[in-house]
Structure 1
Amino acid sequence: MKTFAEFGLEPKVLQAITELGFEESTPIQDKAIPVALTGKDLIGQAQTGTGKTAAFAIPLINKIPVTEDRIVALIMTPTRELAIQVAEEIGKLSRFKGIRSLPIYGGQDIGRQIRALKKRPQIIIGTPGRLLDHINRKTIKLDDVETVILDEADEMLDMGFMEDIQSILKLVPEERHTMLFSATMPPNIQRLAQQFLKDPEHVSVIPKNITAPLIDQAYIEVHERQKFEGLSRLLDMESPELAIIFGRTKRRVDELSEALQKRGYSADGLHGDLSQNQRDNVMRKFRDGSIDVLVATDVAARGLDVSGVSHVINFDLPQDPESYVHRIGRTGRAGKEGTAWSFVTPREIDHLHFIERVTRQKISRKALPSLAEAIEGKQRVTAERLLEIIQSEDFNEYKGTAIQLLERYDSVHLLAAALKLLTGEKKDVNIELTPEDPIRAKKRRPDVRTNGRRFNGFNDRGRSGGGSGYRGGQGGGGNRGSYGSNRGSYSGSSNRGNSGSSSYGSGRGGYGSRDEGRGGEGRGGEGRRPRSSSDDYVNN
């Protein structure tokens, strides 16, 4: 890898990079920065966490004159969280040069954004929907844009932004520098690149395995009721610098973060029901170390990029292998080692094996930490902190009291008492979490009426049936959608009616009938709704 000095960057840009502590470029930076500096269109294929933001931000900041007072660069991102993170990184990298950038996203007061736009930023980082809103209000004009960057393009298209992106790009001058970054290159991304990029150079640093090799993965088999005690012991034994704990539902996140606080842990929760101000406040505390444990749902953590996360803990297993990969990818970044733990109930072991097969990674089994291991872990970390203070020699004002105490008490007793005090006794609070139903392994069954042929919607969370795979509501759309959204109807005896409130022969639409595409309506009354709220699954 090159050092950043070898790229021929402006001194002020190089100074910012050096002060941030970066020495060598990452693989995507090594390949992308030289191409971007020439002004050639670029397609960069790289996963989140590989340093791709700096790969496009450094050349961009390097080429914009500080005297420029127009919007000359536009960066589009799929989520407001990512827009904020990109803006923060650009702010850090341009601090000495003085380039002005502004994040634009939904959920923030548009009047405030309009006032900020009057300060004439040179770089706009925004989500497609809010950008179009400003364009229609004529508060953002793209006539002078010279550089366009599409960040996490596959995620943007998955979220349905294709038309918005096309509308925006058609308003940007054709003579421009365009860069597209994406973890995957499906056909729709290729079509977008063909439409808006000119003879782009393709650079890729996608690893062969979809999981990060520096992440140590393990699971603990434990019953649902024992999970919280297991988590407490694990946190004590591992003493993570920063940890993200994933819960499956919003209710789980709320209960778990509150329970951790009651037990004396420095924790807070993040999910989709929080306001933007609440989300920003939680993330600020996590980034500056005010809290060291963040409890989150998958959706809330999407686009999250926090350096220094040492541990990811799956308190609840995710529904699919892709989510597992995204979750554990929050640690082990920038060449550092990371650790991922998962709690698995006995009824979820098959689902864990399914994740192993898809990710082609063996997840090792570990025993539940004992109480002795938990206590030892806390004492070890406290002892290390004591030694750091001794090495720094920053304790002179405490020597007098120490000498007085040593004259009266045994040194071992004094140190043991100090360790007990610093370790902090765990608050003896009884914790009761609402249990979550276990995730079933996806077992494909042949349809008896189609001679073994399977419908695509069978395990698709009802996506092809109008999004009602968990609710069991009205899943529209002919045979395939009907079957996909009525999974609970057909196999209700083993699934406890998780996907619908009806079972086997459930009256109208029960078998995926073609009648008005009502496959998932299910009026029969035998199936049972899961105890945990379906809305948590659908909306978090």
Structure 2
Amino acid sequence: METTFATFNLKDSLVAGLAKIHFTKPTPVQEQVIPILLKGQDAIVQSQTGSGKTHAFLLPFFSQLKVNQDLPQLVITSPSRELANQTYELAKQLLEASGETFRMHLYVGGSDKERQIEKLSHQQPDIVIGTPGRILDLISSSALRVDQVRFLVIDEADMTLDMGFLKDVDAIASKMPEQLQTAVFSATIPDKLQPFLRKYLNAPQQVKLAPKSVINPNVQNWLFATRGKNKADLVAKLLTVGQPYLALVFTNTKKTADELTAKLKSKGFKVAKIHGGLQPRERKRIMKQVENLEYQYVVATDLAARGIDIPGASLVINYEIPKDLEYFVHRVGRTGRNGLEGTAITLYGPDDEHQVSEIEALGIKFTPKALANGQIVDSYDRRRRTNRQATKEKLDPKMVGMVKKQQRKHKPGYRNKIKKALSEDRRAKRKIENRQEQRAIRRSHKR
């Protein structure tokens, strides 16, 4: 029997609201988590972004909210303003479609705290969604009451930990009642998260949903060797090949993002820049412009990989390979969404060989590519030489004879002469191979 939202013991109004917004079949994470939360059990849910986890906690907790309480019943924390806003918009859509009238407020940094405090003095919301820092500020100011909260959701817990906000979440949870139902959602469960989980969760049910594939099969995953070329120039060329609908270029630092943005602008590209160094209002304005397709190219740090949902990205370029390889998956996951096709390009140099190998160890496969005459063509496997067995290397008969002759003579310095001759022979072979590879690339381009 096929599971539907009507299968769960949800409020009828919510089921009707889901039908209005064309949600008919629960995702695997929703199918597993909703019954657990409806039973009143704590949960630790390990699930990837885009798995439908937001509705996995909104639906069961919205079903259990009581009317006319005049105090917060549900608190949802998110590590970034953008993620909090996304959750708020999904929750707002669900409430409106269901005809529910619960009061809900969004509290994030960069908004008017004094105004929020003034409003809270008159009326408390039923549902609180926001960033840990701002929620804690409002609690510490005695403006926001959490002493009667029944449900706590910690979304993107690993990111919360990475960004240093877990102490704030700890302080928030400590102000809540002991009889609190807590749900923690995270892409990974780091060891440093365990003390918090033991402190606040009571016999939690663990749900772990492995992604069907590390990278969406709709995404072409290409590897480009920089070969000493200027990376900014290479990116500029790649951005003009095929004219992407929307391209995201990821850097590891704000400084590199600033420099790359400046270089691309100097080449005539209209580029948006998104990183943590921008003021909240500026970032929000740029995001709105990107959503309105005022920009075709976006340079961003990993804040955008997990903290921002940019719809319609058809191309992702890893200008630098992230130090935390988990972010590689999140970056590439920005394209190929909603059944659409996408392309992810990773630039690498000799110093990146180890990281590329680590990414491949995750089960991710690259297709080697190169630029030739303004076109993207097939290239060769970067490991083609390291895979050879030097001990079985065949020498020209002339070289074999020389080696044997030198060994028989045993004259001083004969070993160095042999090494030199072998080295020269290998160099000559490499030159031939390189010429053959270039010819193959040119032939591929002609085809």
For Structure 1 versus Structure 2, the TM-score category normalised by the shorter chain is 0.7 to 0.9
CA shift digits 1:369-389 (9 cap, x unpaired): 643679xxxxxxxxxxxxxxx
1:222 aligned partner:
226
Q: 1:119 to 1:313 in 2, by over 3 A?
A: farther
Structure 1 residue 116, shift from structure 2 partner: 4.7
Q: Aligned partners of 1:49 and 1:116: how far apart in 2?
A: 34
Q: Which has the higher contact order (CA 8 A, sep 6+)?
A: 2
Q: Aligned partners of 2:372 and 2:39: how far apart in 1?
A: 54
In terms of fraction of residues, the more strand-rich structure is 2
For the pair 1:49 / 2:53, whether they are aligned, the reply is no
1:98 aligned partner:
101
Q: Aligned partners of 1:289 and 1:114: how far apart in 2?
A: 36
Corresponding residue SS for 2:347:
strand
Whether the 8 Å contact between 1:321 and 1:359 is mirrored in structure 2 is no
Corresponding residue SS for 1:69:
coil
Q: Paired residue for 1:371, among 361, 371, 374? A: 374
Structure 1 residue 86, shift from structure 2 partner: 1.6
Structure 1 residue 8, shift from structure 2 partner: 4.9
* TM-score, normalization by structure 2: 0.73
Residue identity in the other structure for 2:35: P
Residue identity in the other structure for 2:33: A
Whether the 8 Å contact between 1:246 and 1:313 is mirrored in structure 2 is yes
Structure 1 residue 246, shift from structure 2 partner: 0.8
Query: Structure 1: where are the runs of 5+ without partners?
Result: 375-540
Q: Aligned partners of 2:333 and 2:201: how far apart in 1?
A: 30
Structure 1 residue 170, shift from structure 2 partner: 2.3
Q: Aligned partners of 1:18 and 1:116: how far apart in 2?
A: 34
Q: Paired residue for 1:156, among 160, 173, 182? A: 160
Whether the 8 Å contact between 2:218 and 2:342 is mirrored in structure 1 is yes
Q: Aligned partners of 1:369 and 1:228: how far apart in 2?
A: 17
Q: Aligned partners of 1:135 and 1:176: how far apart in 2?
A: 17
For the pair 1:140 / 2:144, whether they are aligned, the reply is yes
Structure 1 residue 122, shift from structure 2 partner: 1.4
1:187-336 correspondence runs (5 A): 187-207=191-211, 210-223=214-227, 225-258=229-262, 260=264, 265=269, 267-299=271-303, 301-333=305-337, 336=340
> How many residues matched?
373
For the pair 1:61 / 2:62, whether they are aligned, the reply is yes
1:351-366 correspondence runs (5 A): 351-366=354-369
Segment drifting more, 94-103 vs 226-235? 226-235
The alignment's C-alpha RMSD in Å is: 3.0
Whether the 8 Å contact between 2:273 and 2:300 is mirrored in structure 1 is yes
Whether the 8 Å contact between 1:49 and 1:305 is mirrored in structure 2 is no
Corresponding residue SS for 1:94:
helix
Corresponding residue SS for 2:249:
strand
1:532 aligned partner:
none
Whether the 8 Å contact between 2:29 and 2:47 is mirrored in structure 1 is yes
CA shift digits 1:7-61 (9 cap, x unpaired): 3544543454344443432221121122223332222111222221121122223
Residue identity in the other structure for 2:134: R
Q: Aligned partners of 1:335 and 1:22: how far apart in 2?
A: 16
Whether the 8 Å contact between 1:222 and 1:344 is mirrored in structure 2 is yes
For the pair 1:108 / 2:111, whether they are aligned, the reply is yes
Residue identity in the other structure for 1:315: Y
1:84 aligned partner:
85
* TM-score, normalization by structure 1: 0.62
Residue identity in the other structure for 2:291: R
CA shift digits 1:54-104 (9 cap, x unpaired): 211222233324544321111122223322222222122222323332222
For the pair 1:342 / 2:346, whether they are aligned, the reply is yes
Query: Structure 2: where are the runs of 5+ without partners?
Result: 378-447
